[in-house]
Amino acid sequence: MRSGTHYSAGHSMYSLAKKLLFTLSGEAAHQLALESLDAAAHLRLIKPFVEPMLQAPVQVMGLTFPNAVGLAAGLDKNADHLNSLGQLGFGFIEVGTVTPRPQPGNPKPRLFRIPEQEAIINRMGFNNKGLNHLLAQVQKRRYSGLLGINLGKNLTTPVDRAVDDYLLGLEGVYPQADYITVNISSPNTPGLRSLQYGEALKDLLKPLKEAQARLADFHQRYVPLVVKVAPDMNDEELHSLAATLRELKLDGVIATNTTLDKSAVAGLKHGDEQGGLSGRPLTEASCLITRKLTEALEGELPIIGVGGIFSAEDAVERIKAGASLIQLYTGFIYRGPGLISECAEAIAAIND
């Protein structure tokens, strides 16, 4: 059972912090929240206010996840906040997207909150400090939980040479990661999403699977390779994608990234900003893609469900749609760390 005092103290602290943070611009608020979290961790102030990590182990991709709720990619792009985020009770954390070379991303402002719909539009554009920085951070981590590392390509690398960047990323992170994500679904790197389909997908994934086999042999450790997909797919695209993932024996799929469908936020402040939409408006679309992928993959690849998960009910529905694990991003921003144990407990209850 949830211990009332800890939960409510942590919860009201979060409500207050959120009120203050939401007065700042989107990106400044994110940055300040992460820095405050680091400071709180440093002062050993996190543990008294959050639930201890729920232990409800799930076996997926040959790994034992202590619980089914992870942090999605993009909040800690450089693995700079791994130690403090690692104290919040997530069953796993995914860092990145990291590109081989550092890059600034798009000009600011590039992150917009739409509170009326509990949504965010972002067009960050893979701002990150590059592979070497991320590796240095990961190597000196104190976080001992499961770590996913999410790979992308630099803006200046042509789409038809994208494989070069993913190979560099794969080789670099292989010894450090528990699983590795090939992110080909960000809407903010021109042409990236075209890699999700047809021959382009095969031409990308085949060399990556070959490299994975070589690296597994060399390091004597098999690190699962998963692909992160967009929610904006028609049925034909989804079936062709699923067939390729099965044929090439990918180890899993993360569904989904942000959507380009902004109909839910039309007319609202920032509703017409360019970029990908996340949060509440994505719940149904992501869940539907998960359900369709479950069918198309026929159990051959596990699914990590992400997109618009804001409550225990959303988490349970995603698992019932066929996901083995879930991830949080926008729900975590709007609801706070209490959402982690809420979802983990609900999933544990159905898995029992």
Ligand X SMILES: Cc1cc2nc3c(=O)[nH]c(=O)nc-3n(C[C@H](O)[C@H](O)[C@H](O)COP(=O)(O)O)c2cc1C
What residues make contact with ligand X under the rule CB under 6 A?
72-74, 77, 97, 111, 120, 122, 124, 150, 183, 186, 228, 257-258, 278-279, 282, 306-309, 328-331
Supply the minimum distance, in Å, between the C-beta of residue 127 and ligand X. Answer: 9
What is the rounded CA–CA span in Å between residue 289 and residue 157? 29
Q: Which two tokens stand for residue 97?
A: 């997207």
What is the rounded CA–CA span in Å between residue 117 and residue 264? 8
Q: How many CA atoms lie within 13 A of 237 on its CB side?
A: 14
Query: Nearer Cβ to ligand X, position 111 or 344?
Result: 111
Supply the minimum distance, in Å, between the C-beta of residue 113 and ligand X. Answer: 10
Q: Which two tokens stand for residue 186?
A: 């960000």
Supply the minimum distance, in Å, between the C-beta of residue 333 and ligand X. Answer: 8
Query: Nearer Cβ to ligand X, position 154 or 183?
Result: 183
Supply the minimum distance, in Å, between the C-beta of residue 203 and ligand X. Answer: 21
Q: What residue has token string 């034992």?
A: 64
User: What is the largest distance, in Å, between two alpha-carbon atoms of the chain?
Assistant: 55
What is the rounded CA–CA span in Å between residue 311 and residue 307? 12
Query: Nearer Cβ to ligand X, position 328 or 340?
Result: 328
Query: Nearer Cβ to ligand X, position 150 or 154?
Result: 150
347 Cβ contact list (under 8 Å, min separation 6)? 56, 67, 68, 69, 315, 316, 319, 326
339 contacts 328 by C-beta, under 8 angstroms: yes
Active site residue 3: no
Nearest residue to ligand X, scored by beta-carbon proximity: 74
70 contacts 94 by C-beta, under 8 angstroms: yes
Query: Nearer Cβ to ligand X, position 6 or 133?
Result: 133
Residue in 142, 129, 144 with CA at minimum distance from that of residue 178: 144
Q: Which of the following is catalytic: 84, 186, 286, 324? A: 186
Supply the minimum distance, in Å, between the C-beta of residue 228 and ligand X. Answer: 5
Q: What is the DSSP letter of 103?
A: B
Query: Nearer Cβ to ligand X, position 66 or 125?
Result: 125
134 contacts 95 by C-beta, under 8 angstroms: yes
Supply the minimum distance, in Å, between the C-beta of residue 290 and ligand X. Answer: 12
204 exposed, middle or buried (CB, 10 Å; 0-12, 13-18, 19+)? buried
Q: Which two tokens stand for residue 302?
A: 């596990």
192 contacts 159 by C-beta, under 8 angstroms: yes
* Active-site annotation, residues: 186
